[in-house]
Amino acid sequence: MRLEQSVVVVATKNKGKIREFAHAFAPLGKQVKSMYDYPDLPDIVEDGETFAENAFKKAKAVGDALQLPVLADDSGLCVDLLDGRPGVYSARFAGEGASDHENNLKLLDMLESKQLGDDTEQPLLSPARFVCALLLYHPVSGETIEAEGSVEGWITSETAGSGGFGYDPLFYLPQYGRTMAELTLEEKQAISHRGAALQQLAAKLEQQI
Query: Which residues would be at the binding site for ligand ITT (CB under 6 A)?
Result: 12-14, 17, 46, 73-77, 90-91, 103, 130, 164-168, 192, 194
Give the shortest CB-83-to-ligand ITT separation in angstroms.
Answer: 17
Q: Render the burial of 162-200: b for 16+ CB within 10 Å, e for the rest.
A: ebbbbbbbbbbbeeeebbbbbbeeebbbebbbbbbbbbb
The active-site residue out of 74, 80, 100, 109 is: 74
75 is in an annotated binding site: yes
Does the annotation mark 74 as catalytic?
Answer: yes
- The contacts of residue 25 (CB under 8 Å, 6+ apart) are 8, 31, 32, 209
Closest CA to 146 of 53, 28, 84: 53
Q: Which of 10, 61, 88, 91 binds Mg ion (CB under 5 A)?
A: 91
131 touching Mg ion, by CB under 5 A: no
12 is in an annotated binding site: yes
73 vs 182 by CB, closer to ligand ITT: 73
Strand partners, 136: 71, 145
Strand ranges inside 11-58, DSSP E: 31-33
19 vs 138 by CB, closer to ligand ITT: 19
By beta-carbon distance, which residue lies closest to ligand ITT?
A: 166
Give the shortest CB-116-to-ligand ITT separation in angstroms.
Answer: 26
Name the binder of 182 from Mg ion, ligand ITT, none, CB < 5-8 A by kind. none
Cα–Cα distances (Å) from 72 to 38, 42, 75, 81, 185, in that order, read 15, 15, 10, 29, 20
CB 1 within 8 A of CB 143: yes
In what helix (H) or strand (E) does residue 79 lie, and over which residues does it extend? Answer: strand 70-79
Give the shortest CB-13-to-Mg ion separation in angstroms.
Answer: 8
Residues annotated as part of the active site: 74
| Binding residues for Mg ion (CB under 5 A) | 46, 91
- Binding-site entries for Mg(2+): 74
